[in-house]
């Protein structure tokens, strides 16, 4: 169900997006360090890390910076505008760490899409993910920036492999996102999520929900429920996006997770 996708040349017509977003603390965490934003042109998920409070601050700063580009821009400048917003988010984190050195270990993933005309720009850093459902096939369109590392077990537990993040937005100047430009086709459905969903829920289950729950709000709720049924080991943040013909009724922006506060 989960394959690598290439850009597909399609019918050239303006498109719009319909979306829903949700975030849940999960069953193992006390607070929600995820944040997300869904608006008429911008969609973004940020999964913060850095201990108590730090993760919440990092993801909120990222979403606040990115929200500033939720506006229609020429297709030719989509990637440039989105990259600028992600780098601005990284600078905002750097400034906050300079003001509060105790937050120097904080950082956040960032997976964001900016839409215009017939195209969408995608920016990605970390291990949150973006998927595309096209003609019944689910493609993962981001690559996790992680490295498998052997961790020593505690209290006699056996060593185990764990994924360690190697690229995030943490205020360091060399942090750069992966960038791409994709054609958007009516009928496409996109999923942006933190690893609180993609960790406990496999691609087959994601595909099942995305193909059976036609309503985006219902799909978001079903995916969050699946992650919690899988143990809810982390915060769960989900955006489901449907590409429709231009002229759809615009929906107000939605902010969820830590940034909502």
E-strand ranges in the chain read 2-3, 15-24, 34-38, 42-49, 107-108, 110-116, 119-125, 129-134, 137-140, 146-151, 160-165, 178-183, 189-193, 236-245, 254-257
pLDDT digits (tens, 9 = 90+) for 19-77: 999 999 999 999 999 999 999 999 999 999 987 689 999 999 999 999 999 999 999 99
Instruction: For residues 158-174, give the mean pLDDT.
Output: 79
Domains, the chain, ordered by start: 2-154+162-260 (3.60.40.10)
| pTM over cut 0.85 | yes
The Cα–Cα gap between 236 and 194 comes to 6
Determine the 3-state secondary structure of 220 from DSSP. Answer: helix
What is the per-residue pLDDT across 213-259, written as a single tens digit (0 to 9) for each? Answer: 999 999 999 999 999 999 999 999 999 999 998 766 778 999 999 99
d(CA 163, CA 10): 37
State the pLDDT at residue 246. 78
Residues in contact with 148: Cβ distance below 8 Å, sequence separation at least 6, in sequence order = 161, 162, 163, 164
Compute the mean pLDDT over every residue in the chain, rounded to the nearest whole number: 90
């Amino acid at each position: 169900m989960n394959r690598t996708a290439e850009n597909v040349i399609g019918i050239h017509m303006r498109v719009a997006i319909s979306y829903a977003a949700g975030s849940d603390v999960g069953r193992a965490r006390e607070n929600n360090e995820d944040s997300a934003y869904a608006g008429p042109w911008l969609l973004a998920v940020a999964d913060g890390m850095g201990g108590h409070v730090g993760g919440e601050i990092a993801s909120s700063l990222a979403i606040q910076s990115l929200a500033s580009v939720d506006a229609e821009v020429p297709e030719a400048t989509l990637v440039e505008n989105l990259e600028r917003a992600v780098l601005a988010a990284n600078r905002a984190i750097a400034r906050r760490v300079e003001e509060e050195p105790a937050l120097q270990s904080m950082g956040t993933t960032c997976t964001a899409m900016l839409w215009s005309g017939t195209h969408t720009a995608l920016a990605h850093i970390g291990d949150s993910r973006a998927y595309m459902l096209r003609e019944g096939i689910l493609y993962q369109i981001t690559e996790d920036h992680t490295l498998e590392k052997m961790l020593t077990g505690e209290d006699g537990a056996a060593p185990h492999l764990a994924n360690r993040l190697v690229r995030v937005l943490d205020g360091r100047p060399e942090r750069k996102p992966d960038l791409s430009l994709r054609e958007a086709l009516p009928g496409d459905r996109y999923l942006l999520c933190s690893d609180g969903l993609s960790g406990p829920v496999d691609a087959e289950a994601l595909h099942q929900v995305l193909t059976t729950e036609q309503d985006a709000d219902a799909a978001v709720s079903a995916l969050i429920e699946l992650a919690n049924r899988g143990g809810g080991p982390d915060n769960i943040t989900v955006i489901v996006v449907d590409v429709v013909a231009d002229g759809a009724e615009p929906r107000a922006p939605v902010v969820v997770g830590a940034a909502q506060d």
